Amino acid sequence: MSEPPGRGAAHGGAGNLPAFSERSSPIADFRFDMGVFLVSAACLGFEISLMRILLVASWHHFAFIVISIAMLGFAASGTVLTLTRRRVLRHDAAVLRAAMLATAFSIPLCTALALHVPVEARWVPALLWRQLAAWALCWLLLMIPFFFSGAAIGLALMAGKDRVGRIYAANLAGSAAGGGLATAAMLAVPAAYLPALAGAAALLSALVLPPHRRARTSCSSAARLELGGPRSEPRASARAESRSEIHTEAGHCPPDPAGAIGGRSTHGAPARAEARGSLIAEHRARSFSRSVLARGAAVLAYAAVIALLPKTIAQDRDKYGAYVLRLVEQGSARQIGAAFGPRSDARAWAGDVFHDLPFLAVGASPPRLSVLTVDGHWAGSVLNVAGLEEAEPVEHTLMALPYAMAPPAASVLLLGESSGANVWLALRRGAARVTVVQPDTNVVRLWRGPLRALGGGVFDREGVSVQVSEPRQFVDRQQERHDVIQLALLEGSAAGSGGLAGLGQDDLMTVEGVRACLARLTPDGVLFACRGIQTPPRDNVKILATFIAALKAQGVDDPADYVAVVRDYLAVCTMVKRSPWTAEEAAGLRAAVARRELTPVWFPGIRDDELNRPDALPTPAYHDAAVALFSSDADAFLDRSDFALRPATDDRPFFHDFCRLAAMGRLRAAFGDAWTTRVEMAFPFVLVAAAGLAAAGALLSLVPAALISDVRRTPGRAAAAGYFAAIGLAYLVLELACLARVTRLIGDPVTSAAVVISTFLCASGVGSLLSQRVRPGNSPVVRAVFVLLLACVGLLLAAVEWAPRLAGGWALTARVAATVFVLAPAGLLMGFPMPLGLARLHVEAPALIPWAWGVNGFASVVAAPLATVIGMAAGFRAAGLAALALYAAAYVFFSRGTPAPGGHAAAE
């Protein structure tokens, strides 16, 4: 992440201490700026890469924590630089190069170490403290590279104090480039190699950095020592020689202005001049050799580290991908294909041990299967068949039931289909046209590649078309209607109890998304979803509640006449029609259920003697839930539930989040020591992470700043704290709120993060530079800036909410361009408050600058998890409005005479 403008000034008021810019040439300046560019690119590239790696290693990209630990690393480095600024500025070149080298080596090393910390997504009460400690250690290790890179960028701004504008521009340009280059690198190399590439960029930054030159008397001093000039004591001579080392690749030896060496004239002394030239040449050769050897040693050491590190990503042992890797180690399975990119890491596996065809009836035998995994999650079982006849087992799955209600030669839409099994089912049921919507190009590449022959080329059969698109975007923009629509992305068992799937956004399984699907049905069409049974029931109850809410949103008064729910011992199939079920259709469904020996849960006209048989549960819980949801008492039923079963919406697209904090006590009493295995822990995980990050931020940023004596003696601390906290919170809360909306537009959370973070950084950097033209103080221009900022943020919140509906069907490059266009104006104005506040502090209360940075750094650390908490609890619209209110509060503090900092988060 980029260092805010003014940080160098905040840390670097060191009077007469030497700075790089005071002893450099244009070539050296360029190399210095290039070093800052590269280390900034490495930092942000690592941040984006880390999200992709965590998607494979764990259950979520954890963007809010990754951003927070980046902020924490920058805040901690700022604290260290503040407390040691005079010492580090005396040795700025050595410290800067060391920080860049430490960044280079820590990125791959700390990533490898963090991925081998035994973090677990399933919480066990007896091991809870150990599990929390493992998570804390993992994030601490991942923070270390951000600490070193933050130190390098902060020190660069301090050392180059008369070139801060150019250095800051290099920092911003590098940050923006890092996000784009990391995303591009994901297309070329597997995710496991991304830290090595980011570290290589940081290593290159240290290599291109110009050498350290303390004085302009290098040649003269050396000449005096060796050509007979006045001699000093041996110790002083040694010190002079060590200080006067010449590094000629950054420039040339300064001339002897007196034309003399050691005070003696060189006129008429060609021998002496020749000796001086020989000495200089020899010294240059030795310096160049030492420089080459040092750089070569650094490169070789880095190559050795990379060669020794593992080339795979260790996965959570409870993930399906970890299970497959264990099978590979045992020789029971083998990888037959892989495709990777920013969107996913997709892999195909073959082996005789794979028999898991979803929801296959008892007594039916599956054909030979291959398995598809995406980011370590099971994504589908691929039937190894040559044609329709061999695909007969799919007729015995629960997904076959809705086709009994479909007309002949139906048009079928499969949203999120990954394996091809449902395509075989549709073709066997006589579908005239099958449209498969798959958002992941890597999955499609595997279909067209290694899985084509094994899977019978099902996606290339006549009547089958494949659309690479987000399912929600597809149904929003498409006008064609279908007889059968399957929400295939829900197929499979429910998320593991205690897992973190609840953190993920699902823009299709919202009330608005299901309503869009219903609009794509023919008058007699059916929409359905099959999902595994859970105990206690939650996923399928929430699916039914979502279908009912979508029907009501379309103006249906009695949804009970439009819905049918059937189950077996493995899963539940929830069906909804665009028109009410007729008596004839209900009779046909009853007959199909009896023929397949399924258990009816709900359909119009269901009888009590049909309930909970033949597959009996302890109670007819699914039927009771359906009756409650169709009744006028539905809201009370949802309020009484131990799980969050209210339908997700576009504003809160967390379908898989079932946690209700109020019910955790009841669940603990009911399930005893196993209570954490019955609770979806996503929301509590966010709360715990927010508390831990807040404590770490206070310890590393807020408390040290408060202990500085000048800060404690200066009035105005409360006002400064209010302003700095407000802008630190506002910036990142708004960034996370926009990221949630942009993810729906772009589709891929990693690419979305790269676009949003890079755009805000670049735009805010330009705003920060423009702010230097505004006079400090509470002037009309400053008031106008804040008014424009509030107006632009308000427009931004409206634009990111509408953009997915307007631009969802555009090409990816066009959607990215639209995102940049929407974010940039507000980002530009968000760059003003920080430098305006710092400028005012320099005039009115310079002693409060460390305090202001400490408060701003603390706010930046807690802002990302806070935005996630608000988004999950109240919606991202509320998070955006909170950011707007915080910017308004910041202006109130500023107008009351608050010396204030700025528009970015401290580590932004």
Q: What is the pLDDT of residues 770-798, one digit of tens each?
A: 887 887 666 788 899 999 999 999 999 99
Residues 6+ apart with CB under 8 A from 346: 338, 339, 340, 372, 373, 374, 379, 440, 442, 443, 445, 446
Report the alpha-carbon distance of residue 407 to residue 635 in Å, rounded.
36
- Tell me how crowded residue 271 is: count the other CB atoms within 10 A of its CB: 8
Mean pLDDT across 748-768:
91
Mean pLDDT across 291-296:
85
Percent of the chain scoring above 70 in pLDDT: 88
Q: What is the pLDDT of residues 833-886, one digit of tens each?
A: 988 888 888 888 888 887 888 888 899 999 999 999 999 999 999 999 999 999
Cβ distance 902 to 727 under 8 Å?
yes
Model pLDDT, residue 170: 86
Give strand pairing partners of 334. 350
Tokens of 719: 């006002």
Give strand pairing partners of 563. 576
Model pLDDT, residue 494: 56
Report the alpha-carbon distance of residue 886 to residue 880 in Å, rounded.
10
**Does residue 15 carry a pLDDT above 80?**
no
Looking at 227-269, list the stretches that DSSP marks H as alpha helix, in order from N- to C-terminal side. 234-243
Residues 6+ apart with CB under 8 A from 97: 206, 209
Per-chain mean pLDDT for the chain: 85
Cβ distance 159 to 12 under 8 Å?
yes
Report the alpha-carbon distance of residue 65 to residue 349 in Å, rounded.
32
Report the alpha-carbon distance of residue 142 to residue 53 in Å, rounded.
12
Nearest Cα neighbor of 97 from 187, 20, 185 is 20
Model pLDDT, residue 897: 61
User: Pick the residue with more confidence: 494 or 368?
Assistant: 368
Tokens of 377: 């999650």
**Does residue 292 carry a pLDDT above 70?**
yes
Model pLDDT, residue 664: 81
Tokens of 26: 């244009």
Pick the range with the lowest mean pLDDT from 72-76, 566-570, 807-811: 807-811
Name the band, by pLDDT with cuts 50, 70 and 90, for residue 212.
low
pTM attached to this predicted model: 0.86
Phi, psi for residue 530 in degrees, rounded to 5 = -115, 135
Residue 527: its H or E element = strand 521-532
- Find the Cα–Cα–Cα–Cα dihedral 826, 831, 834, 838, rounded to 10°: -140
Give strand pairing partners of 482. 521
Model pLDDT, residue 572: 96
Model pLDDT, residue 313: 92
Report the alpha-carbon distance of residue 440 to residue 840 in Å, rounded.
50
**Does residue 263 carry a pLDDT above 90?**
no
Report the alpha-carbon distance of residue 694 to residue 475 in Å, rounded.
41
Sheet holding 599-602, edge to edge: 464-468, 433-438, 411-415, 482-486, 521-532, 571-577, 563-567, 599-602
Model pLDDT, residue 890: 94
Residue 412: its H or E element = strand 411-415
Asked whether the CA dihedral 901, 720, 777, 8 is positive or negative, the reply is negative
Report the alpha-carbon distance of residue 858 to residue 866 in Å, rounded.
12
Q: What is the pLDDT of residues 650-703, one digit of tens each?
A: 999 999 999 888 888 887 777 777 777 777 788 888 999 999 999 998 888 888
Please tell me whether the peptide bond between 367 and the residue prior to it is cis, using omega within 30 degrees of 0.
Answer: no
Model pLDDT, residue 904: 41
Model pLDDT, residue 402: 96
**Does residue 281 carry a pLDDT above 70?**
yes
SS3 category, 345: strand
Pick the range with the lowest mean pLDDT from 178-182, 289-293, 432-436, 618-622: 289-293
**Does residue 383 carry a pLDDT above 50?**
yes
Percent of the chain scoring above 90 in pLDDT: 59
Report the alpha-carbon distance of residue 550 to residue 535 in Å, rounded.
25
Pick the range with the lowest mean pLDDT from 519-528, 549-558, 896-905: 896-905
Q: What is the largest CA-CA distance in the chain?
A: 122
What is the C-alpha radius of gyration for the chain, rounded to an integer number of angstroms?
Answer: 32
Residue 572: its H or E element = strand 571-577
Model pLDDT, residue 329: 94
Report the alpha-carbon distance of residue 425 to residue 202 in Å, rounded.
52
Q: How far apart are the first and last CA of the chain?
A: 5
